[in-house]
Amino acid sequence: MKLYSWNVNGLRAVVGKGFADIFAALDPDFFCLQETKLQAGQIDLDFPGYESYWNYADKKGYSGTVTFCRVHPLSVRRGMAVDKHDHEGRIVTLEMEDYFLVNVYVPNSQDELARLDYRMEWERDFCDFVLGLDKVKPVVICGDLNVAHKEIDLARPKQNRRNPGFTDEERECFSRLLSHGFVDTYRHFYPDQEGGYSWWSYRFKGREKNLGWRIDYFLVSERLLPRLERAHIHTDIYGSDHCPVSIELAP
């Protein structure tokens, strides 16, 4: 079973850059997108054999998530049932027979860390949310988590210290998820791999020079590890300032 995640940074733009062909070539069982930046009715995007579940932000042209899936879910949740967090279209959760799939776009702390305090509230509530799911059945979390966990996860850690996405507070939130039994699937296979990034700034030819950050993830409950066969970063796929990431799970 192939699961993909991609922050498309504007779905309509990526559709204009060949998204349908990319989708067909990858042949996903699940494809989770973040930062769709649209509202209901602004795009007509259907793939034969797939269902789609959307969560739109109240604010136009902002945030948003969607999950395409081949298998009909048992249930669908949008948001985490915390009103102060659930107006930005950041979470789609599908309940499958033997796990939950959480597609998430974590808030950015913004310039000068203007939104860091809110981000910390969001992280605490999100951790509670996924731990609640994990008590029921295993969880797969995927998406743009807007944090580089370790120095190995970005090209210039010293220069980016205390910048959004590389603060001690944000990194500790990621560590907290791991301490509760979630596994960073890419690091599970490649614990010492350098240069494996999923986002590059459009400035300074970041992607051309591979001056990037790994901020897009698949995390899984530890008890799913026997089914985990592969984790990959698709640096050969263009169309956004992020590239897709994926895992494969045995049936």
The residues assigned a catalytic role are 105, 144
Phi, psi of 174 (to 5 degrees): -65, -45
What's the order of all strands across the beta sheet hosting 65-69?
A: 51-55, 65-69, 30-34, 2-7, 245-249, 228-233
Q: How many CA atoms, within 13 angstroms, populate the side-chain half-sphere of residue 86?
A: 11
Asked if residues 166 and 157 have their Cβ atoms less than 8 Å apart, the reply is yes
Distance CA(122)–CA(128), nearest Å, equals: 10
Helix (H) or strand (E) holding 200: strand 199-200
- β partners of residue 228: 249
**Cα angle 52-57-63, degrees, rounded to a multiple of 5:** 85
Neighbour tally for 11: CB within 10 Å:
22
- β partners of residue 248: 2, 230
